[in-house]
Structure 1
Amino acid sequence: MLNPSPAYSGYTAYGYLEPGVDYQPFELAAEVGRVPGYDLALDAGEQERLNRLLSENIVFSLHEHAVVLPEDEGQIRRYNRTGRQRTGYQGLAHSQLTAVIDNFMAGASCVTSTRGWKWDDMIYALGFRLADLAKQDFVRLATSTADIHAAKRDGHLALVAGFECSTMIENELDRIDMLYGFGVRQLGIAYSQSNMLGSGLSEPGDGGLTTFGRRAVERMNKLGILIDISHSGDRTCMDTIEHSSVPVMITHAGARAVWPTDRMKTDETIIACAERGGLIGLEAAPHTTLSEAHPVHTIESVMDHFRYCVDLVGIDHVAFGPDTMFGDHTAVHRAYAGNYAQKSPEGVDHPRVEYVDGLENPGENFINITGWLVRNGFSDEDIVKVLGGNAMRVLERVW
């Protein structure tokens, strides 16, 4: 494990308030060392190269939920209903990240409804966490690429606020402007289930981007909001790529040719996204980016998708969005299984895991990704691209 950032002072979430008086306390999962560390088996030269690549370059995760979960699985929904999810400052201090698009676990907030994705719930999730960010000096809200470069220069971590879907705007186009004003710089189209903009990937049919969805894409383009299509249906993905005047991203997914589930993207979608200048970020949430070669989900499974996508569209259009959190990710899936159930493909089975070895939380992901790339002979130039160079190039155009 590498040393934590010297800019981190030890602050913990809502440290400016009194637990039990100002907010409801929960026993939280460990941010560091919750599961055994992943053995990269690097020699001294490889370890030195890993350290140098992380220290000298922008390291950018396209998709995480940088919050700490309760230790008790049975408390997850109760915790989320308070709206006060805890940023994992300690874990992030160990991450070597320069920037992260944080998607706030907003769909799980369920403050005013048990079904999630309500406007008020998004404002709870966003407002509480940004108030907390303002009370400490390590993690900084980023709304421009200049903010990310400044974070690298100053040894801080830049947090980009994003939401995985736009369901909460309902049919109110101006709510996109409001979210931009609150600091949001990334929005997904649909989260598995359809909404006013388009179809989600779990639907039996995909009607594509709606007329309202096209107007929403145009508004996001005008404002400078990154559009994410990770959870959208195939036709909605293609329509969004075509209609957007700037590149869009698949911030967290994999290749369906490697693992045949609807959660993965077709070659057609990945190629179209890349041809318009976008990226695919490789996903690592448990039981997503598996492969026939590595059906037990580990970093090796994820990297099978990485190699495939690099061969398909080139290294300039691939990055990483591991989609992890601090705590038991599989417990979240169990807690919300009834909310966001997805289709189970016929004939596709695999062993279940408690966590993805090597990509378990935001604090370790990019250390292990970089180590894997070093160990497997990728050049410095290519590693710098997938760690953050590709993401920054696209965001310069979008923002």
Structure 2
Amino acid sequence: METEISDTAARLHEESIVIDGLVGSMMNLDPVMDGGLTAGNITLASSSTQDFLPVLRSAMEYHDLARVDDRAVMVHVAEDIVRAKEAGKAGFILGVQGCDFLGRDLDNIWIAQRCGLRIMQPTYNEENLLGYGCLEKTDHGLKAYGRIVIREFNRLNMLVDVAHVGQQTALDCTEASATPTILSHCNTRALNDNPRCVSDELIKEVGAAGGVVGISTYSSFAETTYDQRPTVEDVLRHISHAIDLVGVDHVGIGTDCFEARSPVSFERAMVRKYPEVLRTYMTAESRHAIGMGSSRSLPKLTQGMLDLGMPEDDIRKVLGLNFLRVFTEVFGEART
């Protein structure tokens, strides 16, 4: 049954700063504007991106879009998100899922930062020069070069994201970083024993360091009954569990929504490479919780949190203010 959005939820959602901790693309601004999304962390690279220049070209595409479409702005510092909200625009936050593209040249980090990248995930699902991804059978933690890179991220006001990072490597990243880390898009292992879901221990460490845990709507991560496509209520259970662990100040939303991903793209990017994190019901059309396959669906989470009895001020935090707080602390005055 389709979630009905009450007048209260519609008003609260419209008033709130809404930040998505991970979106696959914001090139189509129509669903972004329809869903009231203020800003999103756009993924420009994963472990399959080994070369530096394609990432920069992707970044430049968003700079160009923000230049030619007056509905969008680039986010360099947190204040850009506030200004986007005031102007009724959408903010582009550039990030990566995996730093393989950086190679061993630290100058590449500076170049990436100058091109607008702000959120850096050290690994994707696999091992790389920095550490270990969440699908590796063994995780020996953050490597020596990884510690060097984390220090450089800190120096350049770039935020460390440990969403796909292996447990020990993620804990090491959080310990090594001088500023908070985030789990941009994840779900709780306590409710779903999927290798892409994260442990209570890691959630607590990220929260204790001042970070934010972004809860995803991705089907095989958000389900709470094995191999049963989740509903909005299941997503809310993950949100509630994370709040129980670290408090409402450290929980957000990171949908992991790749708007209009084609069946071929889903087959190539997920089914052939990572079947261990998928479920039998999943297709390109059912890869998110029922009714949550688009940025247009975000008001349903606002309605759901109201239905749980959460105070409006707490809902505002989960919708975006918590991520905004961390962005304010980390991004500083790192303008390009």
Q: Normalising by structure 2, report the TM-score.
A: 0.91
Match of 1:372 in 2: 304
What does the per-residue CA deviation read over 1:160-195, in whole Å, with 9 as the maximum and x for residues that have no partner? 111112111011112111111001111101010111
Q: Structure 2: which amino acid aligns with 1:60?
A: I
Structure 1 partner of 2:329: 397
**Matching residue's letter, 1:207:** H
Aligned equivalent of 1:266, options 194, 199, 206: 199
Distance, in Å, in 2 between the alignment partners of 1:394 and 1:275 is 13
2:4 corresponds to? 41
**Aligned partners of 1:295 and 1:301 also within 8 Å:** no
Please give the per-residue CA displacement for 1:92-121, whole angstroms capped at 9, x wherever unaligned: 1212111111114x349xxxxxx4342222
Q: Name the counterpart of 1:381.
A: 313
2:35 is aligned, of 84, 95, 109, to: 95
Task: Confirm or deny: 8 A CA contact 1:296 1:350 kept in the other structure.
Answer: no
CA deviation vs aligned residue, 1:114-157 (integer Å, no higher than 9, x gap): x4342222123222332233211111111111111111111111
Measured at CA, do residues 339 and 231 of structure 1 come closer, stay the same or move farther in structure 2, by a change above 3 Å? Answer: farther
Aligned partner of 1:304: which letter?
R
Within 1, Cα distance between the matches of 2:260 and 2:180? 33
Task: Tell me the equivalent position of 2:86.
Answer: 153
8 A contact 1:192–1:340 mirrored in 2: no
In structure 2, do the counterparts of structure 1 residues 293 and 49 end up closer, same or farther at CA, with 3 Å as the change threshold?
A: farther
Equivalent residue runs for 1:245-284 within 5 Å: 245-284=178-217
> Contact conserved, 1:285 with 1:329, CA < 8 A, in 2?
no
**Equivalent in the alignment of 2:152:** 219
- C-alpha displacement at 1:295, in angstroms? 2.9
Q: Structure 1 residue 57 and structure 2 residue 16: aligned?
A: yes
Map Cα deviations across residues 288-317 of structure 1 (whole Å, 9 max, x no partner).
221138932222222221111111111111
Structure 2 counterpart of 1:99, which letter? Answer: A
Cα distance per residue 1:222-280 (max 9 Å; x no partner) = 11111100011011000001000110000000111110121011111110110111111
Pairing partner for 1:291 from 209, 224, 245:
224
Amino acid at match of 1:202: L
**C-alpha distance 120-342 of structure 1, shift in aligned 2 (>3 A):** farther
Could you tell me the TM-score, scaled by structure 1's length?
A: 0.77
Structure 2: unaligned runs, 5 residues or longer: 332-336
Q: What secondary structure sits across from 2:111 in the alignment? A: helix
| Conserved? CA contact 2:38–2:84, under 8 Å | yes
Structure 1 unaligned regions, length at least 5: 1-37, 68-86, 109-114
Contact 2:229 2:290 in 1 (8 A): no
Residue in 2 that maps onto 1:5? none
Q: Select the residue among 254, 262, 266 that pairs with 1:333.
A: 266
Q: How many residues align?
A: 328
CA distance in 2, matches of 1:64, 1:156: 16
Query: Could you say which residue in structure 1 is the equivalent of 2:25?
Result: 66
Q: How does 1:79-158 map to 2 (within 5 A)?
A: 87-104=27-44, 106-107=45-46, 115-158=48-91
The answer for the alignment partner of 1:112 in structure 2 is none
> For 1:213 and 1:132, how far apart are their aligned partners in 2?
33
Larger Rg: 1
Q: How does 1:301-380 map to 2 (within 5 A)?
A: 301-328=234-261, 331-337=264-270, 340-341=273-274, 343=276, 351-352=281-282, 354-355=285-286, 356-364=289-297, 366-380=298-312
Describe the SS at the equivalent of 2:292.
coil
The 3-state SS of whatever aligns with 1:257 is coil
Contact persistence 1:161–1:184 (CA under 8 A):
yes
Q: Which residue of 1 aligns with 2:176?
A: 243
Q: CA RMSD in A?
A: 2.1
Cα displacement (A) at 1:371: 1.3
Of 138, 148, 164, which residue of structure 2 is paired with 1:231? 164
- Alpha-carbon deviations, 1:300-349, whole Å to 9, x = none? 2222211111111111111100010221466533122477426469xxx6
Query: What SS class does the counterpart of residue 134 from structure 2 fall into?
Result: coil
Alpha-carbon distance in structure 1 between the residues aligned to 2:152 and 2:317: 29
> What is the CA–CA distance in structure 2 between the aligned matches of 1:53 and 1:293, rounded to whole Å?
33
Are the counterparts in 2 of residues 289 and 302 from structure 1 also a CA contact under 8 Å? yes
Counterparts in 2 of 1:226 and 1:342: CA distance versus 1, 3 Å:
farther
**Among 110, 123, 134, which residue is 1:201 paired with?**
134
Q: How far apart, in 2, do the equivalents of 1:252 and 1:117 lie?
A: 22
- What percent of counterpart residues are identical? 24
Distance 1:243 1:123 in 2: 27
